[in-house]
Amino acid sequence: MKHKQMIEMVFGVALVVLSVAAFFSGEPASLTTEGRGAIFFAFGIGAVMLVTNGLKVLSERSAVTPTPVAPSTPTLVCHQCGKVMHADFKVCPFCGTPRQLQCPQCQGAIESTYNLCPHCGHRLKDIK
């Protein structure tokens, strides 16, 4: 809550509390029509201040974007479909692509951009 809103809330509460206390005080001025009018006016102003500031605070709280929660298990992105999966999965559950590409000759780990397997030299795609 901002400093200005806090001051307005305190002032609103003070107006409401003091006007209720004046209403029930039994003081001669509070028993006149003018005195009661002033009390109700002060009460109304205090109530309006409380309601408007309360609505401001509620709207500010609802406008706050929640902070994303970090996943509890490590994840990685599938190189084929781009969806997030658990790091311990062997294949992507969305597209079935193996987590890590393997050379068809030696089963060594390769990248999709490789032309040759770095482990056995097997040609993976046509070299231009």
Q: Strand, coil or helix: what is 71?
A: coil
Q: Give 42-96 pLDDT, tens digit per residue.
A: 999 989 988 888 877 777 776 656 555 555 677 778 878 888 888 778 888 889 8
Residue 28 DSSP label? G
Q: Strand, coil or helix: what is 11?
A: helix
* Other CB atoms within 10 A of residue 33 CB: 7
The pTM is what?
A: 0.43
pLDDT of 64:
57
For the cut 90, the answer to whether the pLDDT of residue 120 exceeds it is yes
Structural domain spans, the chain: 3-63
| Sign of the C-alpha dihedral computed for residues 57, 7, 30 and 38 taken in this order | negative
What's the gap between Cα 22 and its chain centre? 44
